[in-house]
Amino acid sequence: MYTLRTVFKENVQSNEHLGKHYTFVGKLESSEEFERTRALLQFNDDSNIYAFVTSEGGKEVYPLRNGFYYFIMTDGGKTFDNLTR
């Protein structure tokens, strides 16, 4: 199981359960899919978004923005991936 941990300013943290798998769509890595996702979710004017993470089954989509820290955590609490840019 995976969790998206977001660290905001002042070390405020949020954890979102992603499920057994997740999808990462980066602006640089998958520009066409990134633009489709951004248009679908109507994030037209937010140039701070550099990626989207989608939970298992596509139930939730989380935009990743510049200025915050993002980590994918395992169910054991270890960092699986650092998605921060």
**How does pLDDT run across 11-63, given as a tens digit for each residue?**
899 999 999 999 999 999 999 999 999 998 888 777 899 999 999 998 899 99
Domain count, the chain: 1
DSSP 77: S
Is 18 exposed, middle or buried (CB count within 10 Å of its CB: 0-12, 13-18, 19+)? buried
End-to-end CA distance of the chain: 23
CA dist., res. 16 & res. 25, Å (int): 17
> Considering Cα of 39, then 42, then 43, then 45, what sign does the dihedral take?
positive
The pLDDT, as a whole number, for residue 9 is 85
Residue 82 Cα distances to 6, 21, 35, angstroms:
10, 16, 22
Structural domain including 27 reads 2-82
